[in-house]
Amino acid sequence: MRLSRLFSALLVGALAFGSLGAADDAARYDRLGHQMMCVCSCAQILVECNHVGCPDSSEMLTMLRTSIASGASDRSILEAFQAKYGPTALAAPMLTSFNKVAWIVPPAVLAFGLIGAIVLIRRWRLVNATKPPVAVYAPSSATRDRIRRETEL
Amino acid sequence: MMPAFGSYALLLALALSGYTLLAGSIALRQLATHAAGQLPRVDPARLAETARRSGIASFFAVTCAAFALVWIAFTNDFSVSYILHHSNRALPGAYKFAALWSGQEGSLLLWAWLLAGYGLVLRLRHKVDVRLTAYASTILAAIQLFFLAILNFAAPPFALVAGTIPADGFGLNPLLQYPEMVIHPPMLYLGYVGFSVPFAFALGALMMRYPGEKWIHITRRWTMVTWLFLTCGIFLGAHWAYSVLGWGGYWGWDPVENASLMPWLTGTAFLHSVMMQEKRGMMKKWNVWLIFATFLLTLLGTDLTRSGLVSSVHAFAQSSIGTWFHVFMLITLAVCLFTFIRQSDHLETEHRIEALVSRESSFLFNNLVLLTACFTVLWGTLFPLISEYVQGNKVTVGAPFYNRVAIPIGIFLMLLTGVGPLLAWRSASFRSIRRNLVNPGIAAGAMAVSLAVLGERPWLDMGSFYAFMVWVLAAFVVTAIASEFLRGAAVIAKHTGQNLFSSAVQLTRRNTRRYGGYIIHFGVAVIFIGFAGSAFNQSKEQELGFHDRMQVGPYTLVCQSYTQDSNLNYDSEYTLLDVYRSGKKITQMAPEKRFYSASQQTATMVANHSTLAWDLYVVYAGKNPDTGQPIIKAFLNPLVAWIWIGVMIVVAGTAVALTPNLTAALAASRTRVPTREGAGREALATGGGD
């Protein structure tokens, strides 16, 4: 439970960091437009849809402009689009219930892998340390000369 | 005539591949039992040889089928359904040839043909290791049998049109009518299909409990060449998307793009971790699974593209052959798992990692990060399906998800790219780390300060922060690589008196794999520099009448004219724009929109003025129906050219890494000398010779 709260806090923090300094309407329009998909089945980001005569993008862009002008928050705009066009209208899942899993799993896998690898290496190092030392191989001067000749360094 | 010829050729190829699999399996089984003391009923060596020759013959049969399909395309034989749906009379010759891979059946035929081609090379080079090659050849025959079975029974490319044959075809998808489409798919398929060969060698080596690591030496070149093809295929695809789709970007995290990226990531991980197996006999189980996973991901990628499991802008070749792929993937996974469990004692590691800070552990972390990246891409691609299963509704997992999740992983990987080569094998001392990190650290610091002075503010938004991190790390990586070259070259220069550049060349020739690898890392750093530029993309859309102006960054676009044109294949609308910078005309651009009459589809022809600093990317977005004036969308995309330059560096680095070492070449020539002398003596003894 505590871990889940920590992940949520980190995600919210990351999202908040991502939206720093983007307060003006044009920037918000561009940013929010990049967080939505055109629903004309072109599978393109809303502000990148380049279909001539696309039946949906102009209506969606108008709604986005109106929503921004009305002073609605980013979250409420995204929720309104989701309610009107369905969840596929958002280019990435929102942080709601099961969708959190989408965001949490990849960093969790990386963290789990890194921690696991560090623990494993430390364990191997301890096992190696308990083994009897191998006799040190001291090459003769002739061997050293041969190595030097062969490597030409 | 030709459709029947093609169909029979495919049927013959299926029979020959079936024989290769059957006879090869029996021969290998008998060889194994013969070794255990039982007498074989049939001479297994002769049986294996017939299997090998049958495999070679299957290549010619598939070639005949591919030739038949191209012939049918060029002769406009629209009685064949595939050609009817993917070609038309006015289609230029190059695209008629490209029709071979522009649809479902044709691209599967291309896959089968390339696989047969790889099989041909492998079977002709069987003397490298006759028994291991026999195993690999039999496994390849099984894969080939699967594709040929689909081609014969599920997706036949020579199926005939029922009823009246139309006078003209429906044409090729306009998005595919672009020069890069003639080379991008074959390149990508060479990469996809090529991973079958290291997979076959790995599985074969495990089945026969191949002693030592020689199979890795044998497959190293195969893996690197395949990886190179896949790299080129992916970036040619990115360049095609940039030039044709007209949305201003080169990578949209589309499921099909993701499908090509996943085996590339695991293949890259394999190329790194296999060095640990070669040098220290470590990570044998890991490596075997990496190559198994890479092959399975190539199948999954094809499955995603074909089955329509996930929606994609690349849906050029969808059908219902997904079940075939699911079954084949399950069988492959079962065979891999069974062989691994049965032979896992053969894969016991000889050494273990001794220190957390060492070259080995850097490879391990590099592998972890690459695999996490692969998992992230797979997770994002499949999450809509998971969501539908759990929540009852699909969600979209697009660019915003990957930008937040995958980019930090990429940045971490870049850090490892810089640090890894600086660490010693087994254990790196604090002193050596400090010594090696000084110059790259200073370069990274200097880059950070320079960026701050130039006005970069990483705290403003996430994009700026990522770009800042990438550029600082790029300085670190490039300096680390340069230091490695300079350190080695300085030693050679001191001993030989050559200048530093000649010494660096000699250094590279002495250990092509290592220094080729560094060149590849340098290329990757350059590519990342280009990627980071996307954080500062700008765009503007404006309606332009005669002599109207549009300002984009430092460029002024002036509309000179807008007109229409027409030819047999398409009608087009385009605008001529003069481009000025600081009051001086620098170029003229002609963004265009085409309407293809056969397919009744439109396509964008982007006009792009590329410099090292940025691309001025101009799209003809359409016409205002009220005024009749064109609407122009212009993008200013920083540093895109660096991506393509970086890819060329990666290609050059791979070519270097594939070249034999100078010392190895010298040693080979030394060993040849006595042979020649011996031959001379023989010639003398027999009274022959010049």
- Whether residues B125 and B182 share a domain: the answer is yes
Residue B614: which residues within 8 A CB-CB, separation 6 or more? B533, B553, B636, B637, B638, B639, B640
Instruction: Write out chain A residues lying below 8 Å of B514, CB-based.
Output: none
Q: Is residue B287 part of a domain?
A: yes
Residues of chain B predicted below pLDDT 70 = 34-41, 305-319, 663-690
- Whether residues B607 and B463 share a domain: the answer is no
- Whether residues B541 and B498 share a domain: the answer is no
> C-alpha angle with apex B270: B269 to B276, nearest 5 degrees?
100
Q: What is the distance between the alpha carbons of residues B441 and A66, in angstroms, rounded to a whole number?
A: 49
ipTM of the complex: 0.80
Q: Is residue B659 part of a domain?
A: no
- Whether residues B483 and B554 share a domain: the answer is no
| Amino acid at site B73 | A
φ, ψ for residue A36, nearest 5 deg: -130, 155
At B674 the pLDDT is 45
Residue A43 to residue B312, Cβ atoms within 8 A: yes
Residue B390 to residue A98, Cβ atoms within 8 A: yes
- Whether residues B530 and B604 share a domain: the answer is no
Q: What is the distance between the alpha carbons of residues B245 and A45, in angstroms, rounded to a whole number?
A: 13
Last residue of a domain, one of B535, B551, B572: B535
At B160 the pLDDT is 93
Looking at the 3D structure of chain B, how many domains does it have? 3
Residue B633 to residue A42, Cβ atoms within 8 A: no
Q: What is the distance between the alpha carbons of residues B438 and B427, in angstroms, rounded to a whole number?
A: 19
Interface of A with B in 74-103 (CB under 8 A): 86-93, 97-99, 102-103
Closest residue by Cα to residue B630 from B600, B589, B601: B589
- The model's pLDDT over A22-66, given as tens digits with 9 standing for 90+, comes to 457 888 888 899 899 988 877 788 888 877 677 888 889 999 999
Last residue of a domain, one of B504, B535, B566: B535
- A117 closest CB neighbour out of B368, B465, B619: B368
- Whether residues B17 and B108 share a domain: the answer is yes
Q: Is residue B411 part of a domain?
A: no
Q: How far is C-alpha B443 from the chain's CA centre?
A: 32
Burial (0-12, 13-18, 19+ Cβ within 10 Å), B191: buried
Q: Is residue B663 part of a domain?
A: no
- B395 closest CB neighbour out of A52, A87, A121: A87
Residue in chain A closest to B463 (alpha carbons) equals A18
- The model's pLDDT over B429-485, given as tens digits with 9 standing for 90+, comes to 778 888 888 899 999 999 999 999 988 888 888 889 999 999 999 999 999 999 989
At B604 the pLDDT is 84
Instruction: Write out chain A residues lying below 8 Å of B352, CB-based.
Output: 124, 127-128
Beta strands in B401-522 (DSSP E): none
- Whether residues B448 and B301 share a domain: the answer is no
Q: Is residue B656 part of a domain?
A: no
At A134 the pLDDT is 53
- Whether residues B281 and B197 share a domain: the answer is yes
Instruction: Say if CB B22 and CB B47 are below 8 A apart.
Output: no
Residue B461 to residue A125, Cβ atoms within 8 A: no
- Whether residues B623 and B566 share a domain: the answer is yes
Q: What is the distance between the alpha carbons of residues A60 and A81, in angstroms, rounded to a whole number?
A: 8
- Whether residues B523 and B551 share a domain: the answer is no
Range of the domain at B482: 417-535
Q: Is residue B680 part of a domain?
A: no
Last residue of a domain, one of B494, B517, B535: B535
- The model's pLDDT over A68-120, given as tens digits with 9 standing for 90+, comes to 999 889 999 999 999 999 888 999 988 888 889 999 999 999 999 999 988 98
- Whether residues B336 and B425 share a domain: the answer is no
- Whether residues B311 and B459 share a domain: the answer is no
Q: Is residue B440 part of a domain?
A: yes
B413 CA: distance to closest CA in chain A (Å): 12
- A37 closest CB neighbour out of B380, B396, B406: B396
- A109 closest CB neighbour out of B245, B354, B375: B375
Q: Is residue B682 part of a domain?
A: no
